[in-house]
Amino acid sequence: MQVTVGCRFEHDLDAPVHAVIQVEPRFDGPFRLKWERWSPEPDLASTRYLDGFGNLCRRADLPAGPSVLRYEALAHVSPEPDPVWPAAPEVAPAHLPDNALAFTLPSRLCPSDELAPVAYDLFGSLAPGWSRVQSICDWVHTEVGFGYGSSTPVTTAAEVLEARKGVCRDFAHLAITFCRALNIPARYAFGYLPDIGVEPLEDPMDFCAWMEVFLGDAWWTFDPRNNQRRIGRVLIGRGRDALDVAMLTTFGAAPLQSMEVWADEVRG
């Protein structure tokens, strides 16, 4: 199965601004890129690097005046939904791999220490393992309403819990926070998600955020916003929370004039 993915950012700046753009898929995702194209207007010199989480980032100087950043790719993805292992057990902290242990700790937007009493009250008595993580997703999906403009890029999971409203980023942050409070490693993930096998939403497409949880001997995808196994995820970035994987980081004022994101199945 093939999907086209991409995005377009439009700016009109008063002065040049340095930027880090994170919209290109990771090298180690469960997909294969057939081709990709980076085509800014005007043409911009840029360099790519891997950050501390292995995410592919691009640096460029955005010019004064109008400019467009555009990325697009064709990806070969599995036709199967996100993998499932209902018997997957939780792993005691003493036996976690070194690279998973850090994802049990609080982060700026996922204050698991602050929400630990809530997490234990809601989920502490449940049987550990896959079913408990799914129960966390069920709760967040049911108790938090979706609404554009209901949060900001620095809204914490504690604030989401209080407001009971957010976007997919906030759903992921709250579920991650509950998992970490229970010593279950959980990390933030975002990327492109086509509407394959589901009814498209009325709102314009955006990047999608979900979480990856370490159970048994592997990381598993859970999606508290959609709360279903989906087809065709194209992973861009992973981190402790959304601050580690911002789609666009600018070192100066650079308001977006417009933004477009797409992820579509190639038919025929």
Asked if residues 29 and 235 have their Cβ atoms less than 8 Å apart, the reply is yes
Inform me whether the pLDDT recorded for 268 exceeds 90: no
R_g (Cα) of the chain, nearest Å: 19
Give the pLDDT score at 203.
82
CATH 3.10.620.30 residue spans of the chain:
93-230
CATH 2.60.40.2250 residue spans of the chain:
2-79+247-265
* Interacting residues of 120 by C-beta distance below 8 A, sequence separation 6+: 181, 182
Span 69-75, average pLDDT? 98
pTM of the entire predicted model: 0.96
Give the pLDDT score at 204.
85
pLDDT 10s digits, 164-223: 999 999 999 999 999 999 999 999 999 999 999 998 887 889 999 999 999 999 999 999
Percent of the chain with pLDDT over 70: 100
Strands 165-166 vs 145-146: parallel, antiparallel or unpaired: parallel
Give the pLDDT score at 202.
79
More confidently predicted of 29 and 55: 55
Q: Which fold has domain 93-230?
A: C8orf32 fold (3.10.620)
CATH of domain 2-79+247-265: 2.60.40.2250
Banded pLDDT at 29 (limits 50, 70, 90): confident
Give the pLDDT score at 16.
97
